[in-house]
Amino acid sequence: MEKNNEGDGASDNYILVIDAPKETIEIKKHLVMNGYKVLLAETITKAEKLYKIYSIKMLFISLALIDTGAVQLIKNISQKRINHKKNSQVAVILLVNARQDQALHDCMIAGADDFIIKPFTKNILLARMHAIEQLLDVKRLEGDATEEQKIARDIFDAAIKTTNIEIKGMRKHCQPANVFSGDMVLTGKHPSGDVYILFADLTGHGLSAAIAVLPVSNMFSHLIRQGDQAEAILQHINTQLLDLLPTDMFMACCMLKINVADKTVSAWNAGMPDVYIIDRYLRSITKRFSSIAIPLGINELAAEDIHFDSVKINAAKQIFMLSDGVTDSMNEAGCMFGVRRLENILQNNLSESNLFNHVINAFKHFKSDSRIQDDVTLISIALKEMLNISDPVTNSVDVSG
């Protein structure tokens, strides 16, 4: 093992160079002369072993050694940087010969930070090192801020969880674009016995979008316990948002009221995507609750201006809701997921009891490895569990032929 007055500990920060022997010795000479601690590897396999043992802050990797294992190593390093674990702040610099465009593209997409074209002088190497060290300092500060946001997010989540009620048959898939999510799902049971669900999407994503989550959650919970009607609750929340949010922010939302005794669901949609009522027995989308009002937090709103639409439900019915982070999402090819694609998936799987999983898997397949641009939330409510009665699908003759 190379030793250059770097001490014995794997806790020291090393530069790991992966290249042919002659090249690594030359690079090491320049780096050691300027006080850097250096580890050498001639293969990706050896580099992976060193990476697991030592604290690495920079990794130089020659594109001449690039294969699927090297690309995966870069992906793993990038992911660890995101997750802020051991070796979390590692810069990956590619050593590139001319005419290696495709390999360079693949590695940069995998998460490499920079590249240097061979041949290069000692001064170019050290100048690039200095620039990368500044980048690492910024990433380190971002990592600390991210950890603080995660703590705050956990407090937010715990506060909402203590006021929400568990709803039988409800399934949720939430994927924030950043640490915080501007999507919010609030649930409560009204003294009348109705189940209230407020599904909301605040402008943007991240911490700025989550600023109203706790105030809205607290007001929603308090007013339900107090026995206020849904119209009054929405009016109060709107007034609160007008006072709380800057003028360029608002909250799209959909309020559901589920009356188990009368077997009805009522909805008021203000700026959210359609809410679907799906009948697995009839194998069709039997109702869409489309947006009929502007989002909250924009204009004054009177309770008498809020009108709920209602539909009868039974055990074969299923409620399906989503945020626009699903339909507006773009993949690497620049295509939008879109409403048509969503409804095609719903229509083709209406008879499936695991429709929720079909939609999630289709969305994941569509996105592949591309980053989500907005908070993503999907909600499914199987009403047979809430209504606690038999499912006509399982108690009927198969009419599929």
Q: Are 199 and 185 in contact (CB under 8 A)?
A: yes
Encode the chain (401 residues) as per-residue pLDDT tens digits: 333 444 444 446 788 888 877 778 888 888 888 888 889 888 888 888 888 888 888 888 887 776 666 777 787 777 654 343 455 678 888 888 767 777 788 788 877 888 888 888 888 888 888 888 887 777 666 666 666 666 766 766 776 777 889 998 899 998 887 767 788 899 999 999 999 999 999 886 566 666 778 889 889 999 999 999 999 999 999 999 999 888 888 999 999 999 989 999 999 999 999 999 998 877 889 999 999 999 999 999 999 999 999 999 988 889 999 999 999 999 888 899 999 999 998 888 766 668 888 899 999 999 886 777 788 999 999 888 887 754 444 433 333 33
Which class is 164-387 in CATH? alpha beta
Interhelix angle 213-226/230-244, rounded to 10 degrees, is 150
What CATH code would you report for 13-146? 3.40.50.2300
Q: What length is written for the chain?
A: 401
SS3 at position 110: helix
In whole angstroms, what separates CA 338 from the centre of its chain?
Answer: 18
- Pinpoint the residues of the chain covered by CATH 3.40.50.2300: 13-146
Where do the DSSP E strands lie in 44-194? Answer: 55-62, 91-96, 114-117, 170-175, 183-189
Strand partners, 184: 200
Residue 268, both tokens = 């008021």
Residue 361, both tokens = 């898997």
Other C-beta atoms closer than 10 Å to the C-beta of 361 total 12
Q: Tell me how many degrees the CA angle 169-172-173 measures, rounded to the nearest 5.
A: 150
Sheet holding 309-312, edge to edge: 183-189, 195-202, 251-259, 264-270, 309-312
What pTM value is reported for the model?
0.65
In whole angstroms, what separates CA 301 from the centre of its chain?
Answer: 32
Residue 359 CB contacts under 8 Å (≥ 6 apart), including other chains: 320, 342, 345, 346, 349, 378
Three-state secondary structure readout of 208-226: CHHHHHHHHHHHHHHHHHH
Strands 55-62 and 13-18 come out as parallel
Distance CA 324, CA 359 (A): 14
**What pLDDT does 189 receive?**
94
**What pLDDT does 142 receive?**
64
Q: Are 187 and 167 in contact (CB under 8 A)?
A: yes
Q: Are 375 and 201 in contact (CB under 8 A)?
A: yes
- Pinpoint the residues of the chain covered by CATH 3.60.40.10: 164-387
Residue 103, both tokens = 């390999």
**What pLDDT does 399 receive?**
33
- Judged on CB neighbours under 10 Å (0-12, 13-18, 19+), 38 is buried
Distance CA 303, CA 289 (A): 19
- The DSSP code for 323 is -
Q: What share of the chain is helix, strand, coil (3-state, %, to 5)?
A: 40, 25, 35
| Torsion region of 204: left, alpha or beta (phi above 0 gives left; psi -120 to 50 gives alpha) | left
Give the CA distances from residue 102 to residues 65, 69, 97, 98, 380, in Å, rounded to whole numbers and listed in that order.
14, 16, 12, 11, 43
Distance CA 189, CA 195 (A): 5
